[in-house]
Structure formats: structure tokens, C-alpha cells
Structure 1
Amino acid sequence: MLLHVVHATTYDYAPAVKTAQHVAHLKPADRFGQRLVRHSLRVSPEPVQWSESVDVFGNTACFFGLQSTHERLHVVADSIVSTAAPTAPHDSLPWEEARERLSYHRGAEYDPAAAFLFASPYVPRHQHFLEYARPSFRARRPLHEAARELASRVHADFAYASQATDASTPALEALALRQGVCQDFAHVMLGCLRSLGLPGRYVSGYLLTEPPPGQSRLVGSDASHAWVSVYLPAERGPGMWIDLDPTNNRVPGEDYVTVAIGRDYGDVSPLRGVIHGGASHTLHVAVTVAPLPEGEAAPTIADPNDKEHA
């Protein structure tokens, strides 16, 4: 599927911001079974500093600095991404055996997935997560089956409530509230996996805005979305990561676009920065993801004040 993604972010400041430095994770990944066809990032006012780098998780991070006084920051990421249905998971090991394979043993071969076993700033390992996860992780149950049920339980037990939490809400607080947004659903599930000794990574991205006829609109389809990747070790050789979306209780498909992966939201927030001034601000975010017929050129959103960086 060919998808056209437009992610527009606008900050209005009062009083004006004098200088600012920002980091953006807005460039869709050119991996994970998808292909980045085209990408541009337009920023107004015009940055005086601009650079792109790849972070420790393989994500593209864009840094830009602003030195002119401004009352508004406008950032538009415009991308075309070719997506495909995910590979079906292999028969997974019992979850206890999978955990054992990722545990440290002297002389054992290192598996990069082990980097996602540990607590992170938003997601601690905690007894409360263990207690919530245990009903799904019965003895000798295949890991894929247990993780799928855990995602379904989070979907059923938690209410989607956009005003209940914010970007800084810790996963334990979301677990206690039993409500939140996609970020919270992902953080809770990650807390459960890691507390069991299983790797889990946070995935940021997008959903198709308007589903095909006859299909219901998914939660999170008009904003950035977040879901979870679970690692399935193999009997021999490298294992595989599978994605699960607890917010919508489904396996992400070709109607999903992956932007970045990390330990939690803090690693992959779409836009963050440090500003001098702007004691208060209002934020407006608009995301549109639309299918694009093969060979058709995508329209662009023009703004004469924007500077475009491919």
C-alpha cells in the first residue's frame, strides 16, 4: 500500500520565543518491511542550524535551531511510504523458555533484543505489572499467544480517555487509572513484558485516517499513534519482532506506518526542544494518512514562510 502522510505541528507562544533548539522524530523508517519513497520537513521560521543523524535505535533524528524571535513555530512533515502486510510469526517458544534465552549467561551469545529488557524513564519494572500480566502468562504458554492475550486485556480493561493523562504520565500511574491514550496503553504493556523478563519496544507511527468501506475507524487515526513490539526468540538463529496494538486490539498491518522505535515515548517523541521565552503556549497537531494510487504524485501543503528540507 502506498500511503501519503502529512503531520503538521503548530506552537503559538506568549510571550514570543527568543531562541529555540528542537529535535524531531518525524521521518518514517525505511525498514521494518516498509519503504520510504519521499520525505520533506518544512519549518517556519527558517532555522539557522539544521542536521540529521541516526540515533542508537536506528531512527532518523532531525535537529534544528532558531535564533530569531517568533510567536509561532510551524513544522510540517510530508512523506510517502510504501507499506506491506507483516510476516506471520513463527511458532513461538513457551514464554519461560524465551525469557531464559534472553537472560544473561556467562559465555552466551549476545542478542541485541536484550537491550529492551530493562526499565526506562517512563516504564519501570514493578510488581504491579507482574500481577496484571500473570493471568495471560500461564505455565508453558507460547509467548506469541500470551502477548496477544495481554494486548487484548489492556484493550478491554482500559478506557481510551484523551484528557486523563499527558505525555509525562508514568506507566504505573496509567496502570492504576485504567485509562489513557495509545502512549499509555503501550507503556503499560511494556511494563508487563519487561517485569516478566521479556523484551518489548515502543513503536511510534501512524494509522490510515479513513479505513476502507465497511471497516471501522481505528482509535488514534488522526494523530501520532503508538504500539508495542514483542521479541520472539527462535530455537536457532535470530528471533523476530512482532507488533501488537493494544489500543485497537489488533496486529498492525499495511495500514500502519512506523516512524521510530525506542524504550518508551521519551526516546521517540515527535518534536521536543528547549526554548528561551514563551512562558505559555498552545499546541495544535493534525495528522492525515491517505492511500495514494501507485504512480500518482502526492499533493504538497504550501506555505511561503516554510523552509523545506528533503
Structure 2
Amino acid sequence: MSEDNGAKIRYRIRHLTEYRYSNNVAVCQNQVRMQPVSGGNVTCERTELKIAPEPTSRDEHVDYFGNRVITFSIEAIHKSLAVDVESVVAVAANPTDDKTQSPNWESLLATSPDQMRHPKIDEHRFGSPRITPAETFRQYAESSFTPQREIVDAALDLTRRIHDEFKYDTTATTVETTTKEAFSLRAGVCQDFAHVEIACLRSMGLAARYVSGYLRTLPPPGKERLVGADESHAWVEVYAGDEIGWLGLDPTNACLVGTDHIPVCIGRDYDDVSPMRGVVLGGGTNTLKVSVDVEPIADV
């Protein structure tokens, strides 16, 4: 994980998505959420999205959560689609660590939905398309959230428990697996672990949101980094009070979020931040190839 020392780390990120179809596609329409935006500890220096074939129409907007969204359509016969995003970002170290003094978690509870103090925060206390707070999740979380325990300590303990008690297994779940199913399986991938932790936090009455982005991976000692071997990643943010703000937690890696984590989109759950979604007319069967490369670069 990161060795946060107050400095920034600059990255060049390339995310290439390629579809190949067995039959002709007459029309396709897609939305893309793969471009970072500046905010928090991240500065997006530049970002460019290339699409092949050339779209018939292309529009851009910022969604409710502040994510950059490109919508495009291709109204011409094609048998392949490539979406290539390249960005340069700078990620600053987060001064928060597991020794940071923070408020106790009970002080962060909303009194009621009718007395929201910060609507943009408090809306993340409630259910969303993929996450429904429930007593099962509350019971799992409560051993971490003991009375008067500081929010950083309690949330990090929950993060580590999910890492220790759930198995990382790419075959156990799919993108459609529900949070309840992943919790019962005690297995899955980063998306599942993030959903489970958010469900636990919201079931305790806390505000928690889903973050999608990238994680720099380090090769074994003496080995070269593999281009395209980095991955899209997902983690969690819990609101930890006005002084700390949103605290990043990575249950897949049992850690606080650091400079190895590069956020791209935030939302209530995966449905709000899916990197690419769309519909096609025709196409038959398709094959999908995704390549992500996260490269630290020097200042110039």
C-alpha cells in the first residue's frame, strides 16, 4: 500500500475497452464513466476519450454525484467497438491514519430523515438500488461499533474483518450478484466487499458511499511491471465528521485508502458508477477485452 508522506503521486492511466461482435451491429448507444474529475485529494490534469468507430453523436454532462459522463451513439454498421480513455492525475496523500483522533461514531448519526443536517451526506444513509440496510448487516457491524468508539477505529476494524472473513474469489459472484447473496457466501470481489461494507455502515445509521477507480499494483521485487495488469477497483467512503470528511476504506486490501488509490466516480452503489453501459441492435454474440494500465510518472 501507499507510503503517504505528504507528497503527491502523478499517474498516467489508460483504460481500453474493446468489444468484437459475431454479427453486424446496426446501432449502439452507450454511457461512459471513466474520466476522473478534480476534487478532494485528486487533481485531474488532463483526460481524453477516443471512440472507434467515430460516433454519430456524442454528448457530455456531469451527473448528480459530480461524475463526468459521456453519452454516445453509433448509427452505422460495425462489428467492433473500442473505447480508449487516457488520463493524467495527481493524488495527494491523505493525512488520516488509524491513529488519527476522530469523533465517536454515535455523534455522526442522523437524528431522523426529517432533520437532515447535510442533505448531500445524509442521503447516503439510506437504501439504494443494490443495497438495503438490514438487521443482519447491523448485527455483523456492531462488534466493531462498540459504544463511544472513534469512527476511524471502528470503521477500519470493520474493513479488516471483512477482509479476513470473506474470501476473494473471482468465480463466486457476478456483476449481478446481490449484496445479500455476497454476504451469505462470504466471498466475492471488490465490488461485493464494498457493497457489504456500505450495507453494514448504513445499517448502523452512518453515511457511506461507493467509489470506483483504479489501484496501482506493485510487481514482486526484481520484476518489471506488466503493462495492462492493473485493474479497475472499488472501495468505500464513510462520512467521519466535518474535520475529516469522507474517509476512504478498502475492504479488499484491509486498509485506509492512500495514494495508490485513484478515484474516478462516486455514487450510492455500483449502479451509479458503472464504467460503461449501453444497448446494441444486432451484434450476435460478443467478446470483451479490457486493459487497464496505471503508471506513476515524474513531474515535468
TM-score, length of structure 2 as denominator length? 0.90
Match of 1:303 in 2: none
Matches within 5 A, 1:1-310: 1-88=9-96, 91-99=101-109, 102-104=110-112, 109-210=117-218, 222-234=230-242, 240-295=245-300
Give aligned-pair identity as a percent: 41
Show CA shifts across 1:99-118 (max 9, x none).
Answer: 1xx23376664442101111
Distance 2:188 2:114 in 1: 41
Show structure 1 runs of 5+ residues with no match. Answer: 296-310
Distance 2:220 2:41 in 1: 22
**Contact 2:96-2:244 within 8 A present in 1 as well:** no
Distance 1:107 1:282 in 2: 49
SS of residue paired to 1:224: strand
Distance 1:261 1:212 in 2: 31
Distance 1:209 1:42, change over 3 A: farther
AA in 1 matched with 2:269: D
Match of 2:6 in 1: none
AA in 2 matched with 1:267: D
SS of residue paired to 1:269: coil
Distance 1:221 1:151 in 2: 25
SS of residue paired to 2:37: coil
Show structure 2 runs of 5+ residues with no match. Answer: 1-8
AA in 2 matched with 1:243: G
AA in 2 matched with 1:93: P
**Contact 2:130-2:179 within 8 A present in 1 as well:** yes
Aligned residues: 287
Distance 1:140 1:107, change over 3 A: closer
Distance 1:83 1:239, change over 3 A: closer
Show CA shifts across 1:73-99 (max 9, x none).
Answer: 111111111111013276322222211
Distance 1:221 1:138, change over 3 A: farther
